[in-house]
Structure 1
Amino acid sequence: MISLQFLLTALVVVAAPGTGVIYTLAIGLGQGRWPSLAAALGCTIGIVPHLAAATLGLAAVLHTSAVLFNVVKFAGVAYLLYLAWQALRDGGTLAVSAERKADSPWRIARRGALINILNPKLSIFFLALLPPFLSGNPDSATAEMILLGGVFMVLTFAVFVLYGLFAARARDWLLSSERVMRWLNRSFAAIFAALAARLALERA
């Protein structure tokens, strides 16, 4: 069940740059080490509803209901565009600035959780990723889904922490250049806007 193939597959998926990775990097660069850990934790917690949906079969309902899928999808699009604006705005949540004070861990984690919660593709992703690694025993299928999902979440948190610590380590060097900070803020805004556009084009 928890095979090397599953671990490698999950690791590749987790390490691939996505909204959670970009958010964690932005927080690490803009606010430092401890805030980046809160971002990693929030993004990991945001997986829980999708894992529950896949385990309970709700992901299939989301997949077949165009209205429900689009409601969640466009809420996610709006939120990503909001984060893009926050990266550009002076003093914004994701703005990289030498004068930037860290937000509370709760606020950082909450935003990270929302990034994943408002991505309807995650539920469908779990519905596709986990079943091939089950033992095939119907009686233990739910417990196996939860176990595999838990391992996926542990890997997510560990990898995101590494991303965040890397960004926090680079923070002092980057903050010495106003030009680099402007470039970073514009880049993060463009990336979140691009991710919003990609999500808007997704279909159930």
Structure 2
Amino acid sequence: MTTPHGHPDHDHDAHGPTFAPGLRCPECGEPARPVPPRDWPLNGFTPRPVTSHHDGTPLCPAPGPNGSQPAEPISAPARLTMWQAVRQSWLIHPDWTVADHFAWLDGEGYDTDDMTGDPAEVVGRWLAEHRHTARVPRPAGDPRVYMVAGGDMVAVFDSAEEADIMAVTMTAANLEPVTLPLTEAQWEKALAVLRSQLPHVTVTDARSTRAAGAS
């Protein structure tokens, strides 16, 4: 995680720092706080999250039906549910079989016998749901672009695969990326907001149908 520069430290006031004991990010396990991120590239387009890491960055991205979004925090004493554990292990090892996940769950001390129904069928259904929600298909007649935002960088692509590559690159650089599928009209609106409200953010148009450029 990185700490954006040029922003006042809103974490401290006359009463000291704001903390929520036991709150943490479910994706990376680091402490979280009930304070919005210091820098939100999508400000004015999507609501700013209400929680963040202690260094001011958004919580790690988690896949959902509308693309990757900052995760919802969980309490530190609470262990990941078996569903969350399978999702987390699948994100790290997407090539694992159901048997691989069972071996990992056993190694982590989860009791798969507590599942309702046949454990193999349950985990198989979870994996199918994860794969379904990790990719958002492009509806017919509704062309989409894929925006990846992290730190002071925003890039837009015309394929989910290229956006995934950029998200991995940003993650390796500790930029905590967020990926959103947008219509062309939504992207133009988001671009106008970025240029007017966040001129320091570098915007790259990497679509094959447009000449790449940065502002």
> TM-score range, shorter-chain basis?
under 0.3
* TM-score scaled by length of structure 2: 0.26
Structure with the higher fraction of residues in strand conformation:
2
* TM-score scaled by length of structure 1: 0.27
| Higher normalized contact order (CA 8 Å, seq sep 6+, divided by chain length) | 1
